[in-house]
Structure 1
Amino acid sequence: MSEAVDPGVAATSEPKEEKPCVQCLVPEIMTAWNSARGACEFVPDEKGREECRKELEEIAKDVKSIKKGSEVIYKAIKSSSNPAAFIQAQIEFAKTHNAANTEAILKWADEMEKAGKEIPEDIAKIVKFYRIQAGSQI
């Protein structure tokens, strides 16, 4: 004997695939795309840089199919004619970005301290870490 099913109620108990909201993904995907695009400028030869820029433009056209930021970088690596050079470029981009970011944060912290302004505790911990990393006295 079969069970009666109420109208509007699914007869199966399969879980629905949860889709992340687009607004939630945009910052992650944009950050990854900008990172991958920035890495193009660290590819060692002009032809490779130009190819990389074009590949990233193609990836951007298909942004609706991307579900995580790492997919952007993975697609950039996979589509590269020289994945090792792209990965090295990505590493050089990250080093340059991190150095500039660290320098800017430390400069801001120095100015805040000189002005007698309080640095939020979570940021103060990062500043302390950066100073230790740089070999500065705390």
Structure 2
Amino acid sequence: MGRGGLCYGARMASIKEFQVTIDCADPIRLARFWCEVLGYELPPVPEGAETWEEHYRSLPEDRQVRYFPCSDPSGKGPRLLFQRVPEGKVVKNRVHLDVRTGTGLVGEERLAVLRAECDRLVALGAVCLEVLVADEENESCINMQDIEGNEFCLD
């Protein structure tokens, strides 16, 4: 990073929209989970079907779901795209999401809010891996896994 937090270069690049793509086994199921976590929305179901699953079952096998998005209804957050891959997850993620649950809170108040959100997400199928309690340098956070084993943090 250069001075003032800008990257080095003669020209200033324009800010780009981006999406986060997550490899998975079941794109619709994982998209539904993350909608519950983040308050995101699924795209509307096509006419003639009650659910996305019903819609995809009606298509030929070569048109079955390979990708499935969800997005922030306010338009502020990045779109998430869940991409079906044949292999399962075998190692730690190189990138993970930090769900900013305790922003602005400190100490016991922060930890209580993080634990309450952890309990809500565990009820949805997430796994709590580790509760890191505040020390002299860092505030509390909770390391978790989503329903397909992808790591994320409640921060």
* TM-score by shorter chain over 0.5: no
Q: Name the larger-Rg structure.
A: 1
TM-score, normalised by the number of residues in structure 1: 0.24
Greater helix fraction, Structure 1 or Structure 2: 1
More strand by share: 2
TM-score after normalising by structure 2: 0.22
